[in-house]
Amino acid sequence: MASGRIIAIANQKGGVGKTTTAVNLGACLASLGKKALLIDIDPQGNTTSGMGISKADVKYCIYDVLINDVPVQDAILPCGVPNLWLLPATIQLAGAEIELVPTISREVRLRRAVQPLRNVYDYILIDCPPSLGLLTLNALTAADSVLIPIQCEYYALEGLSQLLNTIRLVQRHLNTSLEIEGVLLTMLDARTNLGLQVIDDVKKFFREKVYHTIIPRNVRLSEAPSHGRPIIHYDPKSKGAETYMDLAKEVVGLE
């Protein structure tokens, strides 16, 4: 029986590479023979469309699981890649942040829904929205660990103390075993010194938690979602594909 690891991909900043990492790490883990599930918990549904799933074709999404008690198995879709499945999000989820407020055990709904899936998948990746609201709290409460993507730019460390405070609060009150899985530097522009400075700062702060793999800025990574395909299928020879594959190996402990 699989004993799946549940990893929340979180950073309340938008545009730092959460979704790109969810889709591509998921696909790379799948290609390493790991059974992987992507859970899209961002109302924007970018992981859902990035996997080529049309929202019009989604019968049940994560909203129905969280709010309407639809069984999680009924909402999971195959997405045309061996070993990879998706629990989609649609814009309906935008209401959940408010609708959850008065409900009982509002922070643990996702945890309850995904616990049984540990026996089915090796890795469950949760793509969080760019906020620290109830949806992200649900993800952090459901997860074994949190993977934090940080964009290699000037304001990289700004806002991180808020994220770390939230993680500490969750550890204290909702999920005592939550760990930091790792910190991933993304969108490195090798032509500037700024990127190198950011790498230095982030390593000083997070030390051995920082992945050796650094994701470069790579235009093929930004093109892949509009083709509805992970980078290793869209352009397997690209730098983006190579580095996300390296990351997957680091995550499973092969490197």
Q: Which residues bind ligand ADP (CB under 6 A)?
A: 14-20, 46, 130, 186-187, 215, 217-218, 221-222, 225
Q: Rank residues 133 and 174 by Cβ distance to ligand ADP and give the closer one.
A: 133
Residue 216 three-state SS: strand
Nearest approach, Cβ of 180 to ligand ADP (angstroms)?
17
- The site partner of 217 among ligand ADP, Mg ion, none (C-beta below 5 to 8 Å per kind) is ligand ADP
* Residue ranges in contact with Mg ion by CB under 5 A: 18-19, 46
Residue 201 three-state SS: helix
Contacts of 16 by beta carbon, 8 Å cutoff, 6+ apart: 149, 150, 151, 186, 187
Q: Rank residues 26 and 225 by Cβ distance to ligand ADP and give the closer one.
A: 225
Q: Rank residues 106 and 239 by Cβ distance to ligand ADP and give the closer one.
A: 239
Nearest approach, Cβ of 73 to ligand ADP (angstroms)?
26
- The site partner of 124 among Mg ion, ligand ADP, none (C-beta below 5 to 8 Å per kind) is none
Taking alpha carbons only, the member of 251, 242, 220, 18 closest to residue 130 is: 18
How many Cβ atoms are within 10 Å of 252's Cβ, its own excluded? 16
- The site partner of 125 among ligand ADP, Mg ion, none (C-beta below 5 to 8 Å per kind) is none
- The site partner of 218 among ligand ADP, Mg ion, none (C-beta below 5 to 8 Å per kind) is ligand ADP
Q: Rank residues 201 and 223 by Cβ distance to Mg ion and give the closer one.
A: 223
Nearest approach, Cβ of 78 to ligand ADP (angstroms)?
22
The residues pairing with 149 across neighbouring beta strands, listed in sequence order, are 184
| Cα–Cα distance list, 96 to 38, 43, 164 (Å) | 19, 9, 24
How far is it, in rounded angstroms, from Cα 174 to Cα 8?
15
Nearest approach, Cβ of 192 to ligand ADP (angstroms)?
14
Nearest approach, Cβ of 184 to Mg ion (angstroms)?
14
The conformation of residue 95, written as its DSSP 8-state character, comes to G
Beta strand ranges found along 117-247 (DSSP E): 123-127, 145-151, 179-186
Q: Rank residues 2 and 219 by Cβ distance to ligand ADP and give the closer one.
A: 219
Residue nearest to Mg ion (CB): 19
Nearest approach, Cβ of 83 to ligand ADP (angstroms)?
22
Q: What is the DSSP string of 10-52?
A: --SSTTSSHHHHHHHHHHHHHHTT--EEEEE--TT-HHHHHTT
Q: Rank residues 19 and 141 by Cβ distance to Mg ion and give the closer one.
A: 19
Quick one: tokens of 225?
């979602």
Q: Rank residues 19 and 151 by Cβ distance to Mg ion and give the closer one.
A: 19
Nearest approach, Cβ of 18 to Mg ion (angstroms)?
5
How far is it, in rounded angstroms, from Cα 154 to Cα 171?
29
